Each structure stands twice: as C-alpha cells, then as structure tokens.
Amino acid sequence: MRTFIIAALILAAVPLAAQERTPSPAGAEVYIISPKDGAKVHNPVRVQFGLKGMGIAPAGVKFENTGHHHLLIDTEAPAELSAPLPATDKIVHFGKGQTETTLTLKPGKHTLQLLLGDMNHVPHAPPVISKKITITVVE
C-alpha cells in the first residue's frame, strides 16, 4: 500500500504531456488581406493572407519568430491552443509556407479566420490570430 501511494505521488508530480509553446513577438499580427469583411464574392474565392512582425517558415522548420498559416473556415479556433491544430476540412494548414489560397464554397455566408502555428502546428503564445471575417458567396 505504501509503495502504491508513493508511486501515485510521483506520477502526479510529472506534468501531463506539457508542450512548450513557441513565443510570438510583441506586435505580431495576422490578417486577411482579401476578401474584405462583409464582401460578396464569387467562386473561386481567392484568399490572401497578411502577416506583420513575423515571418513565414514551412512546417517542420525551426526559425525564430516564424510560423505557417492555418485558415479556419466556418469554425471557431480550438479552445485548447497548446496542442497541434488538427487538419480538417475546416482547419486548413499551409505548411509549405503559402500566403494565399483559392476556395470553392457553397453559396451563402461563410466565416474565415487565420491562425498562425509554429513548426509543430501549435499556435504561438500569445496566439497570433486574425479578426474573423464574414463573406457571402453569390452564384
């Protein structure tokens, strides 16, 4: 019994999968250059990514004050930002260092937001995240 208690205390002292988040420099800012918030657009929708105060590096490349873009389409940023961002149809990674993309979206309203991730797809601390914009795709 005593051995069990000691083992439990040791386990409790080890942080569970603590991941060091990459710091972002003060003043770093990510934003959507186009389309503009509230724009009415046609398919295909060209989305251009803007970044101030940091640089772009492909996923897997460690270089200070850099990251790669993730486009959040019709979704919120994950509440837990200390884990790698999943790759889904709503969280699109640009791990080659791309600064724009072309989307084909259903007609209607859509939200777009950019979130920078580090070499391991983990958002920086503090996170570098854009304003969320709403666009309307018209046929």
CB 74 within 8 A of CB 58: no
Cβ proximity to Cu ion: between 83 and 103 the closer is 83
Distances, alpha carbon 10 to alpha carbons 15, 16, 68, 91, in Å: 10, 12, 38, 38
Pick from 121, 123, 124, 130 the residue near Cu ion by CB under 5 A: 121
Compute the residue count for the chain. 139
Confirm or reject binding of residue 124 to Cu ion (CB under 5 A): no
Cβ proximity to Cu ion: between 35 and 117 the closer is 117
Q: For residues 33-54, b (16+ Cβ closer than 10 Å) or e, as one string? A: eebeeeeebeeebebebebeeb
Q: How far is the CB of 72 from Cu ion (least distance, A)?
A: 12
- How do the residues of the chain divide into helix, strand and coil, expressed in percent and rounded to 5? 10, 35, 55
Q: How far is the CB of 70 from Cu ion (least distance, A)?
A: 5
Confirm or reject binding of residue 69 to Cu ion (CB under 5 A): no
Q: How far is the CB of 120 from Cu ion (least distance, A)?
A: 8
Binding residues among 86-105 for Cu ion as defined by CB under 5 A = 93, 95
Q: Is 120 left (phi over 0), alpha (psi -120 to 50) or beta?
A: alpha
Q: How far is the CB of 64 from Cu ion (least distance, A)?
A: 18
Confirm or reject binding of residue 117 to Cu ion (CB under 5 A): yes
Instruction: Please report, as ranges, the residues that interact with Cu ion according to CB under 5 A.
Output: 93, 95, 117, 121
